[in-house]
Amino acid sequence: MVESTRIVLASRPVGAPTPENFRIETTRLPAPVEGEVLLRTLYLSLDPYMRGRMSSAKSYAEPVEVGAVMVGATVAEVLESRAAALAKGDVVLAYSGWQTHDVVSARRVRKLDPGAAPVSTALGVLGMPGFTAYAGLREIGRPQPGETLVVAAATGPVGSTVGQVAKIKGARAVGIAGGPRKVAYLNELGFDSALDHHAPDFVQQLTAAVPDGIDVYFENVGGAVADAVYPLLNTYARVPVCGLIANYNASGAPEGPDRLPAYYGRILTKSLTVRGFIQSEFVDDLYPDFLREMGEWVAAGRVRYLEDVVGGLAAAPEAFIGMLEGRNFGKLVVKVAD
């Protein structure tokens, strides 16, 4: 039997998560039976959607139960295999969550090729975040040559991929991020314009950056950024709604007047397409195309990526809290083991 260190949900947060909402435990795992593999986690992905899973509110996925392991995608090494398709030493993509070891069915993992790309990219540009960008653009955003796309949280794994793929498709890409360092990185990636949403004249800068209006707004954030974008949307603009990170820690209704009627008014008068989506709904139809195209773009340097790597499973709670506050720079992963 193998001991696994794991981080469980100790309590449901009210507002922003705190370290007290997490607890570290050690448990013993059973030996794998026929069709199963024993995994040792190498990398753990930290993503904004996990905040929603900490809540008991109804959503597209079941919440994490108090006392259960925090969910999350992982890259892991096979320590023992009772499945014909996998051998000891293979590296796989799994969904083991915040723990050092796991025993799972071999049908629930995907074997990775460490020679094709760094295995951590299976949690980022060549994984769920990259696929989110790819599917949202291909199915909803549909950027055309000469159009203008705006994306917030643009240095994150989804946003940075959105902007670069839009450029490949011939569109102008305007990225919004927080702070000069992130803005400078967007310029390195080749965004046509990079804006700091902390700037006191952000609204004026955004207006100047989109003289022909906005045709695609890839929504990752909501909040004040969305308030600045919506008046600039063109007729027939498309809005893939991927995330609303500005609202994830809200514990009540926002203050001020009800702005929903004006929001619906814009949708009506400008014939906007506003479509929420969860990447999993497109997996069956698009994932093979994504792996092929994104793999080619990354290998050719047409899509670049940045990883923010923190060391040790125990660092996960603080890193996760920091991500929700915008402190990460690039795709946030925890290096659990070598």
Fold of the domain built from segment(s) 128-280: Rossmann fold (3.40.50)
Architecture of domain 2-124+306-335: Alpha-Beta Complex (3.90)
Using pLDDT thresholds of 50, 70 and 90, give the confidence band for residue 59. Answer: confident
Give 150-196 pLDDT, tens digit per residue: 999 999 999 999 999 999 999 999 999 999 999 999 999 999 999 99
Give 105-142 pLDDT, tens digit per residue: 999 999 999 999 999 999 999 999 999 999 999 999 99
The DSSP result for 14-79, as a single string, is SSS--GGGEEEEEEEEPPP-TTEEEEEEEEEE--THHHHHTS-S--SSPPPPTTSBPP--EEEEEE
Domains of the chain, by residue range, sit at 2-124+306-335, 128-280
Alpha carbon distance, N-terminus to C-terminus of the chain: 21
Give 188-245 pLDDT, tens digit per residue: 999 999 999 999 999 999 999 999 999 999 999 888 999 999 999 999 999 999 987 7
CB 279 within 8 A of CB 131: yes
pTM score over 0.85: yes
